[in-house]
A and B are shown apart, each in its own frame.
Chain A
Amino acid sequence: MKALSRAWLLDPSPASRGQARLGQAYLGWLKLIRNPLAVAGVVIVGALVVMAVAAPLLATHDPIAQSLPDRLLPPLSPGHWLGTDEFGRDIYSRIVYGARVTLYIVLLVTVTAPLFGLLIGVMAGYYGGAVDVALMRFTDIFLAFPRLILALAFVAALGPGIENAVFAIALTAWPPYARVARAETLTIRGADYIAAVRLQGAGSGRILVSHVAPMCLPSVIIRVTLDMAGIILTAAGLGFLGLGAQPPLPEWGLMISSGRKFLFDQWWVATMPGLAIFIVSLGFNLLGDGLRDVLDPRSASGGKG
Chain B
Amino acid sequence: MALIEIDDLEVTFGSGADAVRAVRGVSISVAAKESFGLVGESGSGKSTVLRAICGLAPISGGAIRINGAALGSRRDKGFARRVQMVFQDPYASLHPKRTIDATLAEPLTIHGLGGRDKRVVSALEDVGLDPKFRFRYPHQLSGGQRQRVAIARTLMLEPEILLLDEPTSALDASVQAEVLNLLSRLRAARGLTFLMVSHDLAVIDHMCDRLAVMQQGMVVEQIDRAALADDSARDPYTRELLAASV
Q: Which residues of A contact B (CB under 8 A)?
A: 12-17, 19-20, 24, 191-193, 195-202, 206, 211, 214-215, 297, 302-305
Contacts and interface: CB of A to CB of B under 8 A. Distances in A.
Chain B interface residue count: which class? 35 or more
B150 to A, nearest CB: 8
5 contacts: A14-B136, A192-B87, A196-B87, A202-B110, A302-B139
Contacts of B135: 13-17, 19-20
Nearest to B130: A13
Which has the most chain A C-beta neighbours within 10 Å: B135, B136, B153? B135
B13 to A, nearest CB: 13
Nearest to A20: B135
A221 to B, nearest CB: 13
B193 interface: no
B93 A192 contact: yes
Q: Which 6 pairs between the two chains have the least Cβ-Cβ distance?
A: A201-B80, A201-B77, A13-B132, A192-B93, A20-B135, A14-B135
A197 B150 CA distance: 11
A17 B48 CA distance: 37
B71 to A, nearest CB: 13
Nearest to B102: A17
B234 interface: no
Which has the most chain A C-beta neighbours within 10 Å: B79, B92, B102, B157? B92
A13 to B, nearest CB: 4
A196 B153 contact: yes
B92 A193 contact: yes
B237 interface: no
Contacts of B156: 200
A200 B99 contact: no
B75 A304 contact: no
B91 A214 contact: no
Contacts of B136: 12-14, 20
B100 to A, nearest CB: 9
Contacts of B239: none
Given A195-B87, A196-B93, A201-B111, A13 B133 contact: yes
Interface in B130-166: 132-133, 135-137, 139-140, 142, 150, 153, 156-157
Interface string B92-119: 1111110101100011001100000000
Contacts of B133: 13
A143 B157 CA distance: 46
Contact of B84 (A12, A191, A192, A199): A199
Given A12-B136, A192-B88, A195-B56, 13 more contacts: A14-B135, A17-B102, A20-B136, A192-B92, A196-B87, A199-B75, A200-B80, A200-B110, A201-B75, A202-B106, A202-B110, A215-B97, A305-B139
A193 B139 contact: no
A131 to B, nearest CB: 18
A191 B137 CA distance: 17
B107 to A, nearest CB: 4
Contacts of A304: 91, 139
B54 interface: yes
Contacts of A305: 139, 142
Contacts of B93: 192-193, 195-196
Contacts of A303: 96, 139
A193 B142 CA distance: 17
B137 A24 contact: yes
A198 B92 CA distance: 15
